[in-house]
Structure 1
Amino acid sequence: MAATAISIADDAQGPSWADLPVSTPGLVLDLAVLDGNLDEMAAIASSAKVELFPHAKTHRMAEIGLRQVAHGADGLCVAKLGEAEAFAAAGVKRLFVANPIVGADKAERALALSRRVDLTLATDSEAAAASIGAVFAAAGTTARMMLAIDSGLGREGVAADQAAAVAAAVHALPGVELIGIYTHEGTTYGAKDHPDLASRAKAAGAFMVGVAETIRARGVPLPTVSLGASASAREVAHVPGVTQIRPGIYAFNDVGQIALGNASLETTAIRVIATVVSHPDPERACIDAGSKSLSTDLVPASAHRDAFPGMGLIVNAPGWVIEKMSEEHGWLRWRGQGAPMPLPVGTRLEIVPNHVCMAFAMLRRATVVERGDVVAHWDGFGPGASE
């Protein structure tokens, strides 16, 4: 499906992404920028001699997952067993479900999937691991698992001082092969500037390597030390002892990555296109993209919110801020210098989301652009992938 070719590589030159023939609210993806991002991270992983398992819950699209593998990824990381099943059906051969699963029903599905692909599962407790291992043992095989470690985020994961004991207990279970530890070093997103980010990332990598050493001292072989955050991936990849990275947002980038210094508009592969549907006074307007399109996320670190206010960056209407969201409305307020830039009803705006994962999850379809032409529409997985 071709359209009139336009230049969208540089927002300061040529027509806006908003000129593309896409219904609003709609997600637009530029292939050249995507491929550049994929190649950059693959080169980082290769130079550091670590595995690259991109977190595909960011997009949940078969075409993008296969493209990541084609551009050097060793496999894909996912959040749900249903996502793993969908990517396996698309042809991905190595998958890590980086979210603990529990119970015989999930174990039976995981067992069936493990017969088709190289599958690794996650756990952070002996009880959860045992519920999976029992099913695998009964089938005469083992579930390859990694143990989640809490590196400061306070979500799932074993505390460092308990990791060796839990790892030893999991390692001894029938039907389980413990192959590594993993974490989401989400605290790195709170960095106030790039030096702070680098320091936090290196500390997270060193922390995980240290935890691995305490576990190995208990006699548990542990070949894999895995960290996962786009904020920190460029630094943790080079920490000695780290063997795997799992960034997700890096493929597209978003305002959060721009704020951290990891990206720019030129390396941000997606935009949400929205239409001004109301302009009741000069300093207020509404667009047809609300929380069901962009989410209400602010940039992660409060230190960056003065420079990147609101719930997304409006590229072609500087000075206007998405101040508030309802489900189907974005509430815009003029925060620029001088008289407000007019936003006539019908004006189309191009918006970089603060958190790209949420835009993919909400909109679930990407209009794909190559050299300025619309070449495809890629759809996300259906509801079953969330199970």
Structure 2
Amino acid sequence: MIRINQLTTPSFLVDLDKMEQNISDTAELCKVNSKMLCPMVKTHKSIEVANLQKDHGATGFLVGTLDEAEKLVQHGFKEIILAYPVAAIENIERVIELAKKAHILASFDGIEAALQMQNLLVKETLNIDYLIIIDCGLHRFGVKPDKAVDLARELSKLSALTFKGVSTHPGHVYGINNLSDIERVAKEEIEALEMAKDLLVKAGFAVEIVATGSTPTLPFAVHNKTITTVRPGNYIFYDAIQVALGIVPIERCALTVLATIIANPSENIFIMDAGSKCFGLDKGAHSASLVSGYGIVKKYPELIVEGLSEEVGKIRATKQTSLKVGDKIEVIPNHACAAVNMSSFLFGHRQGFVEKVIDIDARGGTNRKIGINVEASL
């Protein structure tokens, strides 16, 4: 068997024991609290990992791209939720093709995209279920809870679309840095959904699904009786941002990038052969900065990844270190979702020995058109 320190660098690693435990723990939390678990696929973009989540009770999957949705459906997954509205004929046509093979749950926060989908659905004599997106504080997608009824009434005029419920994403939780504020955001998340549901029910709408999702607020939101469905993503790996938020200790992080120290230009500066094309440049989501560097170097608390070029990273030692040129290090990315998207595969290992290669096969390119004469189209 190959040890991970025998791999060439940079390499993307996932500790299988940790990942499986993270998946199992969240699945059990949802089961105990009678919640449907529909994980966000963008974190791992892997059919193998999705199957593992399904084996642990995931009933459906939330997707950030149509590529992800198509790949899941190609592999037999039947319950797919679109996280965002889909607009433009070419994109909606892809949704319609998916709806012929699986149950697709669309999401809307306005009438325009819904009208475009309605027009194409009528031609195909198809119907699609949908959720109304509620803004609980992120101010990206969604309507305010008190406007949910107005939108539901507009959308109810569209015969090919069927209302099923409401959803939200408390992404603004990544703009804070302590557990008490996380609990406050979770309260806002819950209150927004409760208000929207109550108003919709009073207006005569049947609200079957009340969905939300974020890894930091999950431990609080999962206990709420109004919420029916949770849709976390990052929990399978965790990362440096989750550590900074206080959600988990470093030991729970399953994803790392293996890198080699290739230079030591001055006494306290080291250069590794992994840069922004491995880690991205995230220091926090939605323009928030939660961490001091670009990753956590395992077993070397004195090191800070203070800068990234495309292919290399600059590390500063804050005190004396044993690190030297030729040493290999594991770095926990700030944002696991972005890091995984940089690779085509992960080396799955246990106790430092490589056990398998996990393909990142839902990353993109599933809808490449064949036979287009590029020169003729220019």
Instruction: Output the TM-score relative to the length of structure 1.
Output: 0.89
Amino acid at match of 1:326: S
**Number of the residue aligned with 1:158:** 143
Deviations 1:212-238 (A, max 9, x none): 222222222221111111111111111
1:314 Cα deviation after fit = 0.5
1:163 Cα deviation after fit = 2.1
CA distance in 2, matches of 1:135, 1:241: 34
**Number of the residue aligned with 1:360:** 340
Q: Does 1:111 align with 2:111?
A: no
**Number of the residue aligned with 2:2:** 3
CA distance in 2, matches of 1:20, 1:89: 35
**Number of the residue aligned with 2:52:** 67
The one of 235, 239, 242 equivalent to 2:220 is 235
**Number of the residue aligned with 1:323:** 306
Amino acid at match of 1:366: L
**Larger mean Cα displacement after TM superposition, 25-34 or 367-376:** 367-376
Question: Tell me, what secondary structure is at the counterpart of 1:362?
Answer: coil
**Larger mean Cα displacement after TM superposition, 110-119 or 212-221:** 212-221
CA distance in 2, matches of 1:75, 1:86: 14
Return closer, same or farther for 1:310/1:364 CA change in 2, 3 Å cut-off. Answer: same
CA distance in 2, matches of 1:171, 1:251: 37
Amino acid at match of 1:83: E
**Number of the residue aligned with 1:373:** 353
- Give the fraction of aligned pairs with identical amino acids, expressed as a percent: 28
Q: Is the 8 A contact 2:137 2:188 kept in 1?
A: no
Question: Tell me, what secondary structure is at the counterpart of 1:274?
Answer: strand
1:189 Cα deviation after fit = 2.2
Deviations 1:330-376 (A, max 9, x none): 1111224xxx3143222111111111001101123100113543121
Q: Does 1:343 align with 2:342?
A: no
Instruction: Output the TM-score relative to the length of structure 2.
Output: 0.91
Amino acid at match of 2:313: G
Deviations 1:162-187 (A, max 9, x none): 22211221122121011111111012
CA distance in 1, matches of 2:186, 2:224: 9
Deviations 1:244-264 (A, max 9, x none): 111000011111112222222
Q: Is the 8 A contact 2:61 2:81 kept in 1?
A: yes
**Larger mean Cα displacement after TM superposition, 250-259 or 210-219:** 210-219
Amino acid at match of 1:321: I
Deviations 1:188-228 (A, max 9, x none): 22333222212321331122121122222222222111111
The one of 272, 277, 294 equivalent to 1:311 is 294
Alignment of 1:1-387 (within 5 A): 2-4=1-3, 19-299=4-284, 305=290, 308-336=291-319, 340-381=320-361, 382-385=363-366
Aligned Cα root-mean-square deviation (Å): 2.1
Question: Tell me, what secondary structure is at the counterpart of 2:139?
Answer: coil
**Larger mean Cα displacement after TM superposition, 195-204 or 275-284:** 195-204
Amino acid at match of 2:299: N
Question: Tell me, what secondary structure is at the counterpart of 1:292?
Answer: helix
CA distance in 2, matches of 1:86, 1:303: 32
Amino acid at match of 1:79: G
Question: Tell me, what secondary structure is at the counterpart of 1:20?
Answer: helix
CA distance in 1, matches of 2:8, 2:120: 47
Structure 1 spans left out of the alignment, 5+ residues: 5-18
Amino acid at match of 1:380: I
Question: Tell me, what secondary structure is at the counterpart of 1:110?
Answer: helix
Size of the aligned set, in residue pairs, is: 367
Amino acid at match of 1:310: G
1:73 Cα deviation after fit = 0.8
1:281 Cα deviation after fit = 0.4
CA distance in 1, matches of 2:113, 2:158: 11
Amino acid at match of 1:28: L
CA distance in 1, matches of 2:211, 2:42: 17
1:60 Cα deviation after fit = 0.5
Q: Is the 8 A contact 1:107 1:136 kept in 2?
A: no
**Larger mean Cα displacement after TM superposition, 256-265 or 344-353:** 256-265
Structure 2 spans left out of the alignment, 5+ residues: 369-378
Q: Is the 8 A contact 1:233 1:247 kept in 2?
A: yes
1:120 Cα deviation after fit = 0.8
